[in-house]
Amino acid sequence: MKPKYTSPQQFFRQRRTRMGIVFAILLAIYLGSVFLVKFQTFSSLAQVPAGLIWLFKTFIPNQHTTTYLGPIFYQLWRTLIVSISSTICAAILSLMFAVLGAKTTSPNRGFQLTVRFGASLLRNIPVVAWAMILLFSFKQSDFTGFLALFFMTLGYLTRAFTETMEDLDAEKLQALQAVGANYFQCVFCGVLPEAASTMTSWVLYMIENNIRDATLVGLLTGTGIGFLFSQYFKSIRYDAAGLIVLLIAVLVIVLELTSTQIRRAIA
Amino acid sequence: MIENSSSQPNTIKPKVPNTERISLMTKPRLILRAVLAVLGLVTVYSLVTIDTAGLKLGDAFHSLGINLKAMFLQPNVGQDSWGVLLKALSTSIALTILTTLLGALIAFFIAVFTARNLSPNWLANTLKAVMAFIRSIPTIIWVLIYSAVMGLGANAAVVGLTFHSIAYLVKAYSESIEETPQATIEALKASGVRFWPIIFQAILPSIVPALLSWTFIRFEINFANAVAVGAAAGADDIGYYLFMASGFYFNFHEVGLIVYLLLGFAIILELISMRLRGHYLKQN
């Protein structure tokens, strides 16, 4: 094909029409969705500032709020350790699955497909479904929240670990095999030490994520900090609810900063 | 026989450099082990003290097995009809599209002022801090707060979900913008191009693939959030039916069907994202 010469004017005109078409399509999709959801764009957006003002007026903790500090801190602590333990338990299991499922270390192709499919299934079942199914069998306890987070995390970490192992240099593994290392030596001395820091940083990310999800799971299963929030929120004790929001934000930010530090130290 | 003139041969002693002791336990490794050890200890403590509400784990897992079997092997529509469920699913999808598009549009304009190479430091830092704060509060709490202001329903759900999307996308977008080389911006500024043309003619075209892939990631997150929000805030979407079927009617056959619908949509999303990314990366 002959290279076609486009003048700058033509180039910009073409680009403008292409952008215009894309925007028109997006606008059509947007309007269609607005119709389906029955969302009032302008009146809703106009209420955002009012909402923020309301938030800052009513959600400010006052002197009376300190009486709630005990239960709030206790539930926050429980939520934190449940998030950590569900992540770690899931990490141990997904490590095994990842070794079986990664292209570089998998014993055969059947395992690869099974692990991939299973992880995708676990990831795509919404956390609401997990919470409700588990709530029915395990009742209103911390353990329900633990399991719901555990299954979600298992799906995510298996995929992340598998990809991490596949990204490693295949030549190192070949070199190990060439000097006569057996399968287990390859995995434990070649693959795992190399992937350890990346995988740890995934684990840290999942812990952060689980704290946020724990609020939702708690709300649905009636445990932890999420339940406490909805209790205070529904009984219009907004000062206490505000305190919870503030403390969750502080916890998440502290956790984010810590894991950034750790990531930098182990890289 | 040739003898050395001196009785002692003058050998040059090799100077041994002070080698550092090489150990496998480098500092990063030690820190890694310490972190894992602490996390492991917390896990053990948590598992020992976890409150299981005195239930028998064997029985609980048994009933879970029965429920999972009812869900996945015998799905049916329960007390709703296919029409109702499909309409609810499309509401969820529409909710996701709305929040992602609105979020992306607003986030892009905020991101321009959050990128360090385009805006003054104080403004960038302030906006980054505000966004980090909004991001650290879970989506569901934003939705609940807005449903208290605007009443339960779709409007509150959209605004709450958009709020969190904006904070997430501003971070992703501004980091993409910051990757544009400073030299490009300076060259354009020096030749007299004004602020907005620089953004729309130089920066935007070069970061479109990054923006697209971040927006798509957020689309997937928003879909999961939309389902969750439906359950908690009553936006009449698929999440609401999921919540009713599992929490009020205890009809696990219907839960199974809804989960299958959601899985189907998730698979479609995955395929689209693969095609979209492949297409766009080839073009550029």
Q: What is the pLDDT of residues B148-196, one digit of tens each?
A: 887 777 788 888 889 889 999 999 999 889 888 888 888 888 998 888 8
Pick the closest to residue A208 from A144, A262, A166 (CA basis).
A262
Q: Does A197 contact B250 at a Cβ distance shorter than 8 Å?
A: no
**Whether pLDDT at B36 is above 50:** yes
CATH of the domain at A140: 1.10.3720.10
How do residues A237-266 score in pLDDT, each as one tens digit?
888 888 888 888 899 899 988 988 888 888
Task: Tell me how far apart the alpha carbons of residues B109 and A54 are, in angstroms, rounded to a whole number.
Answer: 25
Claim to verify: residue A33 and residue A153 sit in the same structural domain: no
Q: Compute the C-alpha angle A91/A97/A101, nearest 5°.
A: 135
Pairwise CB contact (< 8 Å): A219 & B51: no
Task: For residue B71, give the chain A residue with the closest CA.
Answer: A133
Say if A167 falls within a structural domain. yes
Question: B-chain residues within 8 Å CB-CB of A233?
Answer: 144, 148
Amino acid at B9: P
pLDDT digits (tens, 9 = 90+) for B61-71: 888 888 888 77
ipTM metric: 0.80
- Residues A14 and A95 occupy one common structural domain: no
Question: Mean pLDDT of all residues in chain B?
Answer: 82
Give me the percent of chain B exceeding a pLDDT of 90: 15
Answer CATH for B75-283 from 1.10.10.60, 3.90.180.10, 3.20.20.140, 1.10.3720.10: 1.10.3720.10
**Which residues from chain B sit within 8 angstroms of residue A219, using beta carbons?**
140, 232
Cα–Cα distance measured from residue A192 to residue A169, given in angstroms and rounded to the nearest whole number: 12
Report whether pLDDT(B284) > 50. no
A212 in a domain, yes or no?
yes
A222 DSSP 8-state letter: T
Same domain, A104 and A164: yes
* Interface contact A93, partner B, CB < 8 A: no
Rounded distance between C-alpha atoms, residue B137 and residue B168, angstroms: 11
With left for phi above 0 and alpha for psi between -120 and 50, is residue B141 left, alpha or beta? Answer: alpha
The stretch A120-126 carries a mean pLDDT of: 83
Q: What pTM value is reported for the model?
A: 0.81
A203 CB within 8 Å of a chain B CB: yes
User: Do residue A32 and residue A91 come from a single domain?
Assistant: no
User: What is the distance between the alpha carbons of residues B134 and B163, in angstroms, rounded to a whole number?
Assistant: 8
Inform me whether the C-beta atom of residue A36 falls under 8 Å from chain B C-beta atoms: yes
Q: How long, in residues, is chain B? A: 284
CB B207 within 8 A of CB B172: no
Tens-digit pLDDT profile for residues A74-106:
888 988 988 999 999 999 999 999 988 888 787
CA atoms within 13 A on the CB side of B218: 30
- The rounded mean pLDDT for chain A is 85
Q: What is the pLDDT of residues A29-56, one digit of tens each?
A: 888 888 887 777 777 777 888 888 888 8
Give the three-class secondary structure for A55: helix
Identify the residue whose tokens are 């079986």. Answer: A100
Q: How many CB atoms lie within 10 A of CB A58?
A: 15
Give the best residue of B72, B171, B246 to mutate against chain A (max A CB count within 10 A). Answer: B246
- Check whether residue A19 and residue A77 sit in a common domain: no
Q: How far apart are CA B202 and CA A48, in angstroms?
A: 33
Return d(Cα A45, Cα A51) in angstroms, integer: 10
Chain A nearest-CA distance from B194, in A, is 17
Q: What is the number of alpha carbons within 13 Å of residue B9 lying toward its C-beta?
A: 5
Which amino acid is located at B157 in the chain? A
Buried b (16+ CB within 10 A) or exposed e, A196-210: bbbbbbbbbbbbbbb
My answer on whether A191 and A68 are in the same domain is yes
CB contacts of A55 in chain B (<8 Å) are: 145, 149
Residues of chain B contacting A15 with CB distance shorter than 8 Å: 205
**With bands split at pLDDT 50, 70 and 90, how would you rate the model's confidence at B2?**
low
Contact of A213 with chain B, judged by CB distance below 8 Å, is answered with: yes
For residue B231, the chain A residues in CB contact (below 8 A) are 128, 220
Clarify whether residues A17 and A101 are in a common domain: no
On whether residue A57 sits in a domain, the answer given is no
Looking at A79-88, B20-29, B251-260, which range is the least confident one? Answer: B20-29
- Residue contact A39–B150, C-beta within 8 A: no
Q: Would the CB atoms of A212 and B231 count as touching at under 8 Å? A: no
Domain spans, chain B: 75-283
Distance between CA B217 and CA B11 in Å, rounded? 70
Q: Are residues A248 and A128 in the same domain?
A: yes
Q: Do B52 and A143 touch (CB under 8 A)?
A: yes
8-state DSSP, B74: S
Question: Do residue A26 and residue A95 come from a single domain?
Answer: no
CB contact B94 to A (< 8 Å)? yes
CB of B243 within 8 Å of a chain A CB? The answer is: yes
Chain centroid offset of residue A219 CA? 17
Nearest to B67 by CA among B263, B245, B266: B245
> For residue B86, is pLDDT > 80?
yes
Residue A25 and residue A92 in one domain: no
**Residue A48 belongs to some domain of the structure:** no
Nearest CA in chain B to A81: B46
Q: Which residues in chain B have their CB less than 8 angstroms from residue A134's CB?
A: 64
Which residues contact residue A99 at a Cβ distance below 8 angstroms, ignoring those fewer than 6 apart?
A105, A106, A165, A187, A191
**pLDDT in the model for residue B159:** 87
Domain limits for position A23: 8-39
A265 lies within 8 A of chain B by CB: yes
Task: Provide the number of structural domains found in chain A.
Answer: 2
Same domain, yes or no: A140 and A28: no
